[in-house]
Amino acid sequence: MFPVARRTLAGLAAGSLLLLGAAGCGDLDEASAAPLTRDDLITEAADQLATGSGLTYTAKYQVTGGETATVARAQRPARASYVYPGGRLITTDTVTIRCAGATCTSKAADPAAPASLDGAPLVSPEAAQAMLTAAALDPHVETTQHDTTIAGRHATCLSLSDVDDTPAHAFDLCVTSEGVLASFTATIDGERMDQALTAYTDTTTPDAFLVPPHAKLIDKSVR
């Protein structure tokens, strides 16, 4: 649905070394306890999602309308599968397979134009990470943070508003400690997007990255 991801962030003042001789232990303790800034919060969430891209897992979600979607990832080779009401997307380093109903199309992967979940009622971790990247660059974004538990897993949540250069002017998301997108809520192109993690395992099933058995496969990479 959205473009895929990208992410960066910044650090500490070099001049702090000059203050160490004059600073007492109490001053250092206060500095270490300083609250995270707005940029820190957004960057931390984006970094968690980036970490999640290197995991093997299966995550099940309830999406808008009460239906179910599944995201699966595996490594060596890296591959991902997104199964949602009415469709499926499978991506690897070499091929992209998109299914709608009983028809699937396959084409060579294009690193310059990564596959997206266009029209799906599911937001990918890559899309969420891209939105966080845009928010981190926008000085006017308002951010609040809280922790919660979703599907039995600890998650850090952000509510962002006044965001430019993203599909949603405001959005809420939660990311688990492992780096898995735990929830996402926004209104995009007038449509409400709601998804929440309902189950998580650190394994995948043998058929997670296969075309459905009775689907018709059209290879568009063959000319």
96-112 pLDDT, tens digit each: 999 998 999 999 998 87
Alpha-carbon separation of residue 221 from 60, 96, 105, 179, 217 (angstroms): 31, 10, 9, 33, 12
Please say if the pLDDT value at position 11 is more than 70.
no
Find out whether 164 and 67 touch, Cβ atoms under 8 Å.
no
51 burial via Cβ count (<10 Å: 0-12, 13-18, 19+) = middle
Find out whether 170 and 98 touch, Cβ atoms under 8 Å.
no
Does residue 20 or residue 82 have the better pLDDT?
82
In the structure, what pLDDT confidence band is assigned to residue 36 with cuts at 50, 70 and 90?
Answer: low
- In this predicted structure, what is the pLDDT of residue 106? 95
Which residue's entry shows tokens 């007038």? 190
- In this predicted structure, what is the pLDDT of residue 199? 98
Homologous superfamily of the 36-219 domain (CATH)? Lipoprotein localisation LolA/LolB/LppX (2.50.20.10)
Pairing label, strands 57-63, 68-74: antiparallel
- In this predicted structure, what is the pLDDT of residue 35? 59
Residue 58: CB atoms within 10 Å: 18
Please say if the pLDDT value at position 18 is more than 50.
no
Domain ranges (residues) in the chain: 36-219
Does residue 159 or residue 5 have the better pLDDT?
159
- The model's pLDDT over 43-83, given as tens digits with 9 standing for 90+, comes to 999 999 999 999 999 999 999 999 999 999 999 999 999 99
The pTM of the full predicted model, rounded to 2 decimals, is 0.81
- The model's pLDDT over 134-150, given as tens digits with 9 standing for 90+, comes to 999 999 999 999 999 99
- The model's pLDDT over 198-219, given as tens digits with 9 standing for 90+, comes to 999 999 998 999 999 999 999 9
